[in-house]
Structure 1
Amino acid sequence: MRFGQQLKDSLIRDYYYYYIDYQGLKDLLDARGADGEWSEESEEAFVKALEEELEKVYDFQKLRTYSINQRVKEMDVKVQDAIRSIDTSSPLSEQAFEDLEFDLEEILSDVHDLAKFTQLNYTGFQKIIKKHDKVTHWILRPIFAARLNAKPFFKDDYDPLVVKLSKLYDLVRTRGNPVQGDSSAGGGQQNFVRQTTKYWVHPDNITELKLLILKHLPVLVFNASKEFEKEDSAISSIYYDNADLELYRGRLEKSEGAEAVRLRWYGGMSTDTVFVERKTHREDWTGEKSVKARFSLKEKNVNAFLRGDYTVDQAFKKMREDGKKSPKEIEDLEQLAREVQYSVLTRKLKPVVRSFYNRTAFQLPGDARVRISLDTELTMVREDDFDGRRRAGNNWRRMDIGIDWPFNQLPDKDVERFPYAVLEVKLQTQMGQEPPQWVRDLVASHLVEAVPKFSKFIHGTATLLPSKVKLIPYWFPQMDVDIRKPISHQFGIERPNNLTSSLSNSDDILSSNSGDITMDEEEALAHNGDGSSASAQRHGGDNYEEEHHDYVSDDEDAEHIPLMGISRDRSRSRSRRTAQFHNFNETVRQIGQTMRSWTESLIFEAERPVPGTSTVPAIEERVFHAPPGKLIHIPVRIEPKVYFANERTFLNWLEIGIYLSAISGSLRAFGNERAAYASFFFMITAVLMVFYSIGLYLWRLRAIRLRRAIRYDDQIGTGFMCGAFVLSVLVNYVIQVW
């Protein structure tokens, strides 16, 4: 889809006067002089119009940001007053808390809309500058980049706002009784087992995803006594490996017992505490689970510890004296420290790759059953000295960078800026217990792309050390594929159709069930330069569409569809305050849901393909090839029972061959002359079957050991051998009869 059409389809009605006039700027590019050349006057007119558009977008974005921040401050006062009233003689009613929750949902929707507005306009400026440089051959990109940096409307960080909204939402949702507990990473556990699933998130969907999650889980704040700062979310890790990349290969192939050793710290480079972590992979057939274990060191002692000069007894002497942990816990930590130190010294492990990202974690404090983390601004940086350049010197990490993303001071060969955010869903549920429904809805939505077993360490090593890596992860060749998807179902942050605009006259608002734009709005859009006669209504989620997807979003009854996301419906805001009207509204909604379910069942039944017809749409297939000199590693799960199954199959074939050879011998020894001829065919079939079973067994055994991602079932041999057996029986019958 072209950007101009995408802009028209994604316009938020409240904001459409303030979007970049993309069509108007395009018209200026098409307006050449009489000789068809781009003149200096044309360039001046274009630059002036571009500056005006930048000023308009920047001013509006700052105004909306200020307005949202003021509303958050007002909501903070209201929520605190409501919480204090609980312990008084006249506490707020349940309806008052519902109204507070609804007001917070409105703010969440405004934050979402502003983030989408910002992203879309920034893309628009990038597109029009690229088009200008291509069409006119006058290079404007470097100059306008400086202007964008002077008015950085696209650089606003919404994380502090998300943290504040999360705190308020949690207070209102729990009616002033938020879950209490240890907010430290991992709780009080040093060794913990979790089921972790990883997803990629496109930058366009990051803010929406955060706002959706905080409706169900609060943002995990490690230090609630201080104001949130950007540095608080920064996490840096140094992954260690040797010159043979032994740990990289083990983690990529998921070998039993494969380890990853890393040193991690939270916050800036001045942080005094460093965590030494070891991840150990365990195959399922062992009956154990993969475990991450860690212990802490003071930064000043890290180098000495890695050299072996700082002993384990010295490292844990103070911990034993404090007595805050049990002797058993300290012994386990000491054993872990000895194993890590021994591994570093014997394997000659050195710093190889650093990963940096800003993490937003969602979790009930002290409750690790559901933990969701979103890592943004993910960057991998080289730390090795394999090419002769001592990046870290004799230190355990390089010191020429900190947490100053995007690390523009580094050469391109030393840095990999990952294009997506990484979502991790970690569950500690009981055996057989299903995750919450909202989590299942989230991971099945268009906002995320599942990437099982994704690893920052593996990706960084494969990207930054191409000359030393031959085996690459399966996701590596797909990095240039756009992961944005069309909305498959009603999910996300929605603004219902009957919203009363705060920025435009109520007479100009679209009808709640209308998909067409009014004449007044059409003229307004024409003045804005888009000349759009299509709907300016924004569909929920507003995802960028891929060029090969054509779809229509059915919003006609959107307000009746049960959503997991955030919705804005001012028709509820004041009139809903009476319980009678609320019950009536709820009854109507339930009737609407029942009617729609019945209707959809008929539609799905009618659209179900008839056997023998080809009504199923074709599935688009992509074939990915490894770069020259590389091999793609496909994760293949191998358990001991696979070897046993291969042996059983071989023995079954061998048993059949023995039976056939016995039949052949019996016919030869006890039969007549004709039977002796028939026995020859049985013997040939038995020999073929034995040799075939041996060859198949050895081929499968080698493929299993190499973890090859191939078909292991026998597609031809079984039918061939059965045919040979039937042919032998027929030959025997024919010889005996004739």
Structure 2
Amino acid sequence: MFTEHLNSRPFFKENFDELLLELSRLYNIVRNGGVDVDSAKDPQSGNGQNFVRQTTKYWVHPDNVMELKLYILKYLPVLIYRTKGSSKPPSPAITSIYYDNSDLDLYLGRIEKSEGAEAIRLRWYGDMDSNEIFVERKTHHEDWTGEKSVKERFSIKEKHVNDYISGDYTLESKVERLREEGKKSEQDLHDMLALSQEVYDSIHSKHLVPVVRSFYNRTAFQLPGDARVRISLDTELTMVREDSFDGKPRAGDNWRRTDIGVDYPFSQLPEKDVCRFPYAILEVKLQTESGVEPPRWVLDLIDSHLVEAVPKFSKFIHGVSVLLEDRVDVLPFWFSQMDRDIRKPAIKGFGVTRTSSPRGSFVGVDNTVRQRSSRANSATPSQSSLQQYQNDIEVVVDTEPGEHSSQNEGTATQYSNANEGSGMGEPSEETALLGHRGRSHGGLHRSESWLQKINPFAKHGTSQQQLDNVPSTSSRGNQPNKRIAVPVRVEPKVFFANERTFLSWLNFAIVLGSLALGLLNFGDKTGKIAGAAFTVIAMFVMVYALMLFQWRAERIRRREAGPYDDRIGPTILVVVLISAVVLNFYLKIVFST
């Protein structure tokens, strides 16, 4: 009753978006000394079409969303992508349609991080009337291949999507138009055509259909013209079924279902078709020189009580594993984290506090480096937070052979003194910021009823005692006949160790073979018999070593848990060697007498 009464009061639904935008503008004035130092920068400066980006992901509890935004605003302004000539406030909504087949092969490849695993999605920004659809493909590459994971995309008009999927439309006409306009290089145009053909081939060869939709509102933080630090916060994350595996037509013959739009919380849908994620998703994206540590404030943030690290979190994987649970045998590792409250006791002196003096820090945000006693005497980032960041890194190469709409159709603007921001290679991903919605906490206000269905912890309070003694009541991560896919980073040195073991076996075989050749060439009758025996053993060792090397290498690629030891091979080898030595002694004694 209290929650319903509170929700009905206007003050509880106060929209803080306007205040956050104004605060971002004021911070930028202070940051630049009252001078617009970025307005003359090229929005695309500091970035190419193809770059390596380090990404880490975290969960943020709804109670911490506002404090997190205020902390980030100290260092980065809010960034908005605004179309040229448009007075309409930009929509922060981002919607993606993920494709897979009835066997969920793409899901399995992504969750097991198989080499070359693909994820194909169709994405648009803003409302349902958006005319530009981005076709994206993510390809995972293992470290041992020497390649980085790649994300590629191209744009297509919404009216052509169905024809493109059916094979009745190609991008050749668009490529010719771009070539005539001179907006793209020949290499970019070639890559665009190749990507469109490869995605089409994957859809038809793997029998891909729309499976899951993800929806969220994105708030982006970034300095204009500077892509070194990019932070995005996704709120109101919702996954919706798009498949027809149960015989119920949802999308039908269309590339997406048309009975819903971007009207969160999608209350018109049955509960089995929708999954409302209880947390916001924070992504920290860095582009730094090799060996350069992340900014200190970033390390302070990821080491704070505001975030919960969830490396390799995927909206696609989570949506499939929850909505199509009866069709999957492998669950993501973060299901175990859904069993507990991610809220932590606040760190003293970190984040937003009330100042006790007029000389306090700006708008009551304390200097974290000065306040946190554990780091007061340290000139370098803490080893724990740096190690945590390095463990959570996901390296991705972004390529966009398609159009950069920000260069031709719009500009990225920040709510500060600067009028132009940065498209940074993914202009539309920075679209979602602070829309005008009558909700508090960045649009993450939720009712208790549906939240408890997703996260049983929602019914617990936030007191210190409850945070210290939170019971685990969910069996989400312990479902029968399903295994949890735990991410395992395979270092190149693991393969080198396997090769060294193989070379050790070869070294032994060479020594044994040399001894055998010596006996065959220079020995008497007994020596030649022993040499023949040792030759056979040496050849057996080489063949066995090669088979063992290939077997271990394949298991390492598959990230199998083991065992990797071999008890049978060495035992047989010792027995054979002893038999050969005994045979040599026996023959020598017999022929001597």
Fold-level similarity (TM above 0.5):
yes
> Does the residue aligned with 1:645 lie in a helix, a strand or coil?
helix
Trace 1:591-630 onto structure 2 (pairs within 5 A).
Answer: 597=377, 626-630=478-482
Listed one character per residue, the Cα deviations across residues 514-544 of structure 1 (whole Å, up to 9, x for unaligned) are xxxxxxxxxxxxxxxxxxxxxxxxxxxxxxx
Aligned counterparts of 1:648 and 1:184: Cα–Cα separation in 2: 50
* 5+ residue gaps, structure 2: 379-469, 524-537, 576-593
Aligned counterparts of 1:383 and 1:288: Cα–Cα separation in 2: 33
Q: Is the 8 A contact 1:190 1:294 kept in 2?
A: no
> Which residue, out of 8, 11, 22, partners 1:164?
22
> Which residue, out of 273, 296, 315, partners 2:132?
273
Aligned counterparts of 2:190 and 2:352: Cα–Cα separation in 1: 49
Which letter maps to 1:704? I
Aligned counterparts of 1:594 and 1:184: Cα–Cα separation in 2: 39
Which letter maps to 2:79? L
> Does the residue aligned with 1:309 lie in a helix, a strand or coil?
coil
Which letter maps to 2:153? R
Which letter maps to 2:488? V
Confirm or deny that 1:379 pairs with 2:231. no
Which letter maps to 2:366? S
Distance 1:652 1:213, change over 3 A: same
Percent identity for Structure 1 against Structure 2: 57
Aligned residue in 2 for 1:288: 147
Confirm or deny that 1:566 pairs with 2:424. no
Report the alpha carbon displacement of residue 246 of structure 1 after superposing the two structures with TM: 2.0
Trace 1:543-692 onto structure 2 (pairs within 5 A).
Answer: 566-567=365-366, 597=377, 626-638=478-490, 642-643=494-495, 645-653=497-505, 655=507
> Which residue, out of 384, 390, 396, partners 2:255?
396
Report the alpha carbon displacement of residue 161 of structure 1 after superposing the two structures with TM: 2.3
Aligned residue in 1 for 2:31: 173
Aligned residue in 2 for 1:575: none
Report the alpha carbon displacement of residue 188 of structure 1 after superposing the two structures with TM: 7.8
Question: Which segment is superposed worse, 314-323 or 458-467?
Answer: 314-323
Report the alpha carbon displacement of residue 396 of structure 1 after superposing the two structures with TM: 1.1
Aligned counterparts of 1:699 and 1:274: Cα–Cα separation in 2: 44
Confirm or deny that 1:703 pairs with 2:546. no
Report the alpha carbon displacement of residue 486 of structure 1 after superposing the two structures with TM: 2.5
* 5+ residue gaps, structure 1: 1-142, 501-558, 569-588, 599-619, 671-685, 725-738
Aligned residue in 2 for 1:213: 72
Aligned counterparts of 1:626 and 1:700: Cα–Cα separation in 2: 30
Distance 1:273 1:595, change over 3 A: closer
Report the alpha carbon displacement of residue 660 of structure 1 after superposing the two structures with TM: 8.8
Which letter maps to 1:270? D
Aligned residue in 1 for 2:207: 348
Q: Is the 8 A contact 1:160 1:228 kept in 2?
A: no
Trace 1:186-585 onto structure 2 (pairs within 5 A).
Answer: 190-223=49-82, 229=89, 232-488=91-347, 490-496=349-355, 498-499=356-357, 566-567=365-366
> Does the residue aligned with 1:356 lie in a helix, a strand or coil?
strand
Report the alpha carbon displacement of residue 228 of structure 1 after superposing the two structures with TM: 8.1
Aligned counterparts of 2:44 and 2:571: Cα–Cα separation in 1: 60
> Does the residue aligned with 2:339 lie in a helix, a strand or coil?
coil
Aligned counterparts of 2:375 and 2:110: Cα–Cα separation in 1: 52
Aligned counterparts of 2:506 and 2:114: Cα–Cα separation in 1: 32
Q: Is the 8 A contact 1:184 1:222 kept in 2?
A: no
Confirm or deny that 1:150 pairs with 2:8. yes
Distance 1:625 1:265, change over 3 A: closer
Listed one character per residue, the Cα deviations across residues 230-264 of structure 1 (whole Å, up to 9, x for unaligned) are x6211111111122222222222222222211111
> Does the residue aligned with 1:334 lie in a helix, a strand or coil?
helix
Q: Is the 8 A contact 2:98 2:120 kept in 1?
A: yes
Which letter maps to 2:269? L
Q: Is the 8 A contact 1:445 1:489 kept in 2?
A: no
Which letter maps to 1:313? E
- The structure having more radius of gyration, on CA atoms, is 1
Aligned counterparts of 2:37 and 2:569: Cα–Cα separation in 1: 64
Q: Is the 8 A contact 1:372 1:425 kept in 2?
A: yes
Report the alpha carbon displacement of residue 216 of structure 1 after superposing the two structures with TM: 0.6
Report the alpha carbon displacement of residue 469 of structure 1 after superposing the two structures with TM: 1.1
Report the alpha carbon displacement of residue 709 of structure 1 after superposing the two structures with TM: 3.5
Q: Is the 8 A contact 1:446 1:487 kept in 2?
A: yes
Report the alpha carbon displacement of residue 719 of structure 1 after superposing the two structures with TM: 13
Report the alpha carbon displacement of residue 418 of structure 1 after superposing the two structures with TM: 1.0
Q: Is the 8 A contact 1:653 1:690 kept in 2?
A: yes
> Does the residue aligned with 1:629 lie in a helix, a strand or coil?
coil
Report the alpha carbon displacement of residue 380 of structure 1 after superposing the two structures with TM: 0.7
Aligned counterparts of 1:186 and 1:240: Cα–Cα separation in 2: 34
Report the alpha carbon displacement of residue 429 of structure 1 after superposing the two structures with TM: 1.4
RMSD of equivalent CA atoms: 5.0
Report the alpha carbon displacement of residue 447 of structure 1 after superposing the two structures with TM: 1.3
Q: Is the 8 A contact 1:353 1:382 kept in 2?
A: yes
Aligned counterparts of 1:593 and 1:384: Cα–Cα separation in 2: 53
Which letter maps to 1:566? V
Q: Is the 8 A contact 1:236 1:357 kept in 2?
A: yes
Aligned counterparts of 1:350 and 1:719: Cα–Cα separation in 2: 51
Question: Which segment is superposed worse, 317-326 or 436-445?
Answer: 317-326
Q: Is the 8 A contact 2:143 2:492 kept in 1?
A: no
Which letter maps to 1:477? S
Report the alpha carbon displacement of residue 702 of structure 1 after superposing the two structures with TM: 5.5
Aligned counterparts of 1:469 and 1:595: Cα–Cα separation in 2: 45
TM, length-normalised to structure 1: 0.55
Report the alpha carbon displacement of residue 351 of structure 1 after superposing the two structures with TM: 0.9
TM, length-normalised to structure 2: 0.67
Q: Is the 8 A contact 2:114 2:558 kept in 1?
A: no
Report the alpha carbon displacement of residue 644 of structure 1 after superposing the two structures with TM: 5.0
Distance 1:625 1:342, change over 3 A: closer
Q: Is the 8 A contact 1:268 1:403 kept in 2?
A: yes
Which letter maps to 2:14? D
Aligned counterparts of 1:291 and 1:428: Cα–Cα separation in 2: 15
Report the alpha carbon displacement of residue 345 of structure 1 after superposing the two structures with TM: 2.7
Aligned counterparts of 1:595 and 1:444: Cα–Cα separation in 2: 12
> Does the residue aligned with 1:220 lie in a helix, a strand or coil?
strand
> Does the residue aligned with 1:359 lie in a helix, a strand or coil?
strand
Report the alpha carbon displacement of residue 460 of structure 1 after superposing the two structures with TM: 0.8
Distance 1:628 1:167, change over 3 A: same
Report the alpha carbon displacement of residue 423 of structure 1 after superposing the two structures with TM: 0.8
> Does the residue aligned with 1:157 lie in a helix, a strand or coil?
coil
Aligned counterparts of 1:403 and 1:198: Cα–Cα separation in 2: 24
Listed one character per residue, the Cα deviations across residues 176-224 of structure 1 (whole Å, up to 9, x for unaligned) are 4142378989998554431111111111111111111111111111129
Aligned residue in 2 for 1:526: none
Q: Which has the higher contact order (CA 8 A, sep 6+)?
A: 2
Aligned counterparts of 1:241 and 1:454: Cα–Cα separation in 2: 18
Listed one character per residue, the Cα deviations across residues 303-344 of structure 1 (whole Å, up to 9, x for unaligned) are 111111112213434433433333433332222222222322
Report the alpha carbon displacement of residue 357 of structure 1 after superposing the two structures with TM: 0.6
Distance 1:411 1:624, change over 3 A: closer
Aligned counterparts of 2:316 and 2:44: Cα–Cα separation in 1: 20
Distance 1:256 1:193, change over 3 A: same
Report the alpha carbon displacement of residue 425 of structure 1 after superposing the two structures with TM: 0.9
Q: Is the 8 A contact 1:181 1:367 kept in 2?
A: no
